[in-house]
Structure 1
Amino acid sequence: MDKDRILAVQGEIIPDDQDPSVRRSWQVYGASKIDVGDHALVSDINAVSVAACTYHGASRKFVVEAERFYPQRDGAKGRREALTRFLTAYFPAALRAAGCAP
């Protein structure tokens, strides 16, 4: 094991009136839309998905960002495809695990 960071994933439940795109860490440059949650984007290095949910009886948004760090050996298309596959599988499970009901 080389201890290099390959993937970072963070999720957060935020107020429903907050726009996660204003937060620099969750911006996705040169992105394409993907079908994950209510709104999702993928770029060459990261992907972000947002879904409205109910958390402890209140309207909220669940937001997840996944960012890749390993070498660029698989090309932009391969990175986007891998991030899309990851977020498609991860996001619904993370939403449930966070206790945020759609």
Structure 2
Amino acid sequence: MDVGNRRELTFQASLVAADPDPLQVKRTNLLRAGNPQKADIGSDARIADNAAMAYSACTYKGEPRRYVVEPWVQKPSADVDERRKDLTRLIAAYLPAAQKAAGCTS
């Protein structure tokens, strides 16, 4: 997402294999984003200072999968607590709707 010709947010949503755990795959990136903390979103989630990741286990065309969402803040504001709340609200709202739209059922 660009605002005023500046990249403010990068967002990725992916349908991935059931294994390996996407949070383990991106563990180093989440650590670099600052203090990732567990969140009660989907099957599992982490909210960091400048990024977040959540996934839901689901079934796609009869196969077990995980639907993953990852927002990454490019130029973070000074208010880390507010940014974490915003990231939490974003992925909590987006994950179930996007998963359903992708045809990945619980």
Q: Which residue of 2 aligns with 1:86?
A: 90
The alignment of Structure 1 onto Structure 2 pairs a total of residues equal to 101
* C-alpha distance in 1 between matches for 2:13 and 2:28: 10
| TM superposition score normalised by structure 1 | 0.87
> Percent identity over the alignment?
36
**1:36 aligns to 2:41 (yes or no):** yes
Q: CA RMSD in A?
A: 1.8
Counting only pairs closer than 5 Å after superposition, residues 41-80 of structure 1 correspond to structure 2 as 41-73=46-78, 75-80=79-84
Deviations 1:50-99 (A, max 9, x none): 111000111111111111123423x1111101100111111111111111
Is there any run of 5+ residues in structure 1 with no aligned partner, and where?
none
**1:20 aligns to 2:22 (yes or no):** yes
| TM superposition score normalised by structure 2 | 0.84
Is there any run of 5+ residues in structure 2 with no aligned partner, and where?
none
Using a 3 Å threshold, how does the CA distance of structure 1 residues 26 and 4 change in structure 2: closer, same or farther? farther
* C-alpha distance in 2 between matches for 1:50 and 1:77: 22
